[in-house]
Amino acid sequence: MQIKDQLTNLKPYQPGKPIEEVKKEYNLTHIVKLASNENPYGSSEAAKTAIQNELNQLAIYPDGYSAMLREKLASFLDVSESELIFGNGSDEIVQIICRAFLKPGTNTVMATPTFPQYRHNAVIEGAEIREIPLADGYHDLDAMLAAIDPETKVVWLCSPNNPTGTYINEPSLSAFLEKVPQHVLVILDEAYYEYVTAQDFPETLPLIKEYKNVMILRTFSKAYGLAALRVGYGAANRELIKSIEPAREPFNTNRLGQAAALHALDDQEFILQCREKNKQGLEQFYRFSEEHGLSYYPSEGNFILIDFNRDSDEVFQALLEKGYIVRSGKALGFPTSIRITVGTKEQNAEIISILAELIS
């Protein structure tokens, strides 16, 4: 059997090491996972109650249109219900977009390093990938504009960017959108939106009224703490949403996920608390980095990328043997850096203490 040529050398997504595997491999009982940008405070109690109430409905297919969640989310975001699409995490919407727009002979523009699934899915579709290196950790928007041609179908802007945590401010985004040709779809991936505290971060949802070629991606996996249930969404002009809906799988968001997301929206106090605690946690890492002369990117996400000026796999391994799972920067395009998810105040203090010992 012959598979697509582009799959021959394509590696599947590599998630962080699972907790149980690390426990067994290193004979540890206390493991702290700070690798996958999960919410260390879990999820809203309202979401947990909603899940319990759905357990007797597991034999019934979910609503393929996510009608109740769609209505609630549209009201919360102040958009039309027809301006939303739901996915099995926002990752699936990335896949849907690539499936709908990309094919051999087309190209797509993205930063590098950035979220790897843009590239991954574009490779599968046989499109040319034009990767524009970050400039001092930030999207080089001028260079990205210069890379666009008549065959460009999609431009990806991850803001806050994973793995750097940097963002595109409002003036820069506005200037960029004014220059992007109308035939190019611009994706604003805002998976970490709820963690943002920067005053000049753009309010992007109104842009879908102004630009028919803009789509915003967000998720319930990060700040809402529902990563296991896989619910993400996109917001865009209704004609754009209508055009890509046929590429969406039926029943792609599950019954538990829909119920949990629906009720999580009601608990914005939980989100505000998580945002504030995350900000305080970032400050812990900033102080540590500055005290030890380590460079880092100020982050608007719930993670931080710190340069330890040594092979990142060595730092990763040393932490792993102590029971702390982080992400080596080698696979992320930063071979001397470590990406650390911001944990609780206590978890941050613990890993900072270990890191201080490692570099002393």
Cα 140 to Cα 220: distance, rounded to the nearest angstrom: 28
Residues of the chain with CATH 3.90.1150.10: 5-43+269-359
The SS3 of residue 129 is: strand
User: What is the mean pLDDT, run by run of 10 residues, along the chain of 360 residues?
Assistant: 78 74 83 95 97 94 96 98 97 97 98 97 97 97 98 98 98 98 98 98 97 98 97 97 96 96 97 98 98 97 97 95 94 96 98 93
Largest CA distance in the chain: 58
CATH T-level topology, domain 45-266: Aspartate Aminotransferase; domain 2 (3.40.640)
Do 335 and 329 touch, CB atoms closer than 8 A? yes
* Chain-centre distance for alpha carbon 161: 8
Q: What are phi and psi of 141, to 5 degrees?
A: -65, -35
SS3 per-residue string spanning 272-289: HHHHHHHHHHHHHHHHHH
* CATH H superfamily, domain 5-43+269-359: Aspartate Aminotransferase, domain 1 (3.90.1150.10)
- Helix or strand run (H / E) with residue 111: strand 107-112
Residue 171 token pair:
């003036």
Rg of the chain, C-alpha, whole Å: 20
Q: Which residues, at least 6 apart from 227, have a Cβ–Cβ distance to it below 8 Å?
A: 36, 38, 39, 221
The SS3 of residue 36 is: coil
Residue 67 token pair:
């009608």
Q: What is the pLDDT of residues 227-281, one digit of tens each?
A: 999 999 999 999 999 999 999 999 999 999 999 999 999 999 999 999 999 999 9
Q: What is the pLDDT of residues 54-68, one digit of tens each?
A: 999 999 999 999 999
Residues of the chain with CATH 3.40.640.10: 45-266
Residue carrying the six token digits 């500055």: 290
pTM higher than 0.85, yes or no?
yes
